[in-house]
Amino acid sequence: MINLPRRTSIIATIGTVTESAEMLEKLMKAGMNIARINMSHAKHDQVRKVVTNIRETSQRRNYAAGILMDVQGPAIRTGELQEAMHLKPGERVALTVRGETSDEHRSVHVNYDHLVDDLKVGDTVLIDNGEIHLKVYAKHRNQLHCEVITDGVLGSRRHINLPGVRVNLPALTDKDLKDIDLGIDLGVDFFAMSFVREASDILKLKGILDYRKAPQKIIAKLEDQQGISNLDEIIEVADAVMVARGDLGIECPYEELPIIQRRMVKKCISKGRPVIVATHMLESMIENPSPTRAEITDVANAVFEQADAIMLSGETSTGKYPVQCIELMNRIARRTERSGGAGYAELAELDSEQAKLMKAACVLTDELEAKALVIFTRTGSTARHAAWLRPENTTIYAFTNDAKLYNQMTLNWGTDPFLIQFDEDEPSNTVDAALEVLKKYGRIKQRETIVLVTEVRVKNKMVVTIQMKEVE
């Protein structure tokens, strides 16, 4: 196989250890394609500063870097405690809602008013990322009486999971709406929507973006059983999907998680939706300079499945070795990609004439053993279709005159985006300028064969053309 640039994008969460311009430049140099801002922790003043640093660093390096704002979503949490509770198996604890207090010696308030209504006796409550297991044994007014199954320390504002329970939570909270307004004003490239349970959740955010005439793409984070059961309809309306294995691994049986990941990646690729595999990929490197062997294999599996992107969380936001994490991901991805992929793109359900045309371009590129598939796009659809088809032996170089699209194409598998001015009067000048850029950066050389895909305006209509060309 030809030695190609890395095709899998790397998303890095930005936090206190990586928010400076100096560190962002190191992350980009190491191979970060998209910077994630986690709104569960970030404050607005901090977000403004980080976005400015990312844009300025990206522009200075002439390097495409997308910005993903991860919206917190509706979270069920315990309330404030004066002191932590040390819980042991067999003990009893009461969870209270709607401001009610309990006579139980150990009780804690929960911010979800419908908790008692939604759960039944025998249901399981998981607290603090599944560290503490409780089982419901009785319900009384606004109190849920539980038995402790596993020991643990219960502190204030701990996250609660309710496996298999259909909860009555809003798709977006007041905090989310304020964060989304900020993201629109700052011009981030993607919104990741947490705890997506059905297509209507995505449509709510789409309605906001349409009303604001905002160009951001929406990534649906699937984190519970209800979202997985509605996978097909969510894929239809989302711009991309994230396999959010943190909460998903708590909500679903452990042994089901690898199967769910593979099913989601396979389905997304067949439908032409970018897909991200996230959470715990190099978790041990938050503290240690080297990963576990299992983590290396986990990253390699996601790359082999040909996910569009793999994501780091605490590893780059608060960890001790953020740059090394990205460098390692880059090495694992490049090596795994040379060994081949799962081939899910063979199942692509081509849904338009343009998608079928791009398949012809990809086949032509492979048949000619062309060095590059060079695409000129105003809308991003041709570049997205090319990435969807996962061409094996070439790189997709996507040129656009739209700065927003330039950054958004960082999520496309196997795509190297470039921003140039289009010559509307003489399209051949645009092609010549693009090829000069590729030669300048050593992407192509004289006498190499390339395939060009252009969008040409003919009588107010965009027409896609495919050409074969030898580099001069």
Instruction: Locate 87 and state its tokens.
Output: 């819980």
SS3 245: helix
Assess whether 36 carries a catalytic annotation: yes
Query: Rounded to an integer, what distance in angstroms lies between the CA atom of residue 58 and that of residue 259?
Result: 37
Residue 181 CB partners (closer than 8 Å, separation 6+): none
Residue 423 CB partners (closer than 8 Å, separation 6+): 429, 430, 433
Query: Are 311 and 9 spatial neighbours (Cβ–Cβ below 8 Å)?
Result: no
Assess whether 443 carries a catalytic annotation: no
Assess whether 221 carries a catalytic annotation: yes
Residue 458 CB partners (closer than 8 Å, separation 6+): none
How many C-beta atoms lie closer than 10 Å to residue 47's C-beta? 21
Say which of 8, 13, 78, 279 is annotated catalytic: 279
Sequence-ordered strand ranges (E) for 8-120: 9-13, 34-38, 66-71, 85-87, 92-96, 107-109
In terms of C-beta distances under 8 Å and separation of at least 24 residues, what long-range contacts does 132-135 make, across chains too?
132/87, 132/158, 134/93, 134/95
Say which of 6, 197, 221, 271 is annotated catalytic: 221
Q: What end-to-end distance do the CA atoms of the chain give, in Å?
A: 25
Locus of tokens 């695409």:
375
SS3 110: strand
CA distances from 463 to 306, 330, 405 (A): 30, 37, 19
Q: Which of 272, 303, 400 is nearest to 6 (CA)?
A: 303
Say which of 6, 7, 36, 371 is annotated catalytic: 36
Query: Rounded to an integer, what distance in angstroms lies between the CA atom of residue 64 and that of residue 55?
Result: 9
SS3 159: strand
Burial group, residue 303, by CB count within 10 angstroms (0-12, 13-18, 19+) = buried
Residue 282 CB partners (closer than 8 Å, separation 6+): 291, 295, 299, 312, 315, 325, 328, 329
Please give the angle made by the CA atoms of 8, 60 and 216, to the nearest 5 degrees: 55
Q: Which residues are catalytic?
A: 36, 77, 221, 279
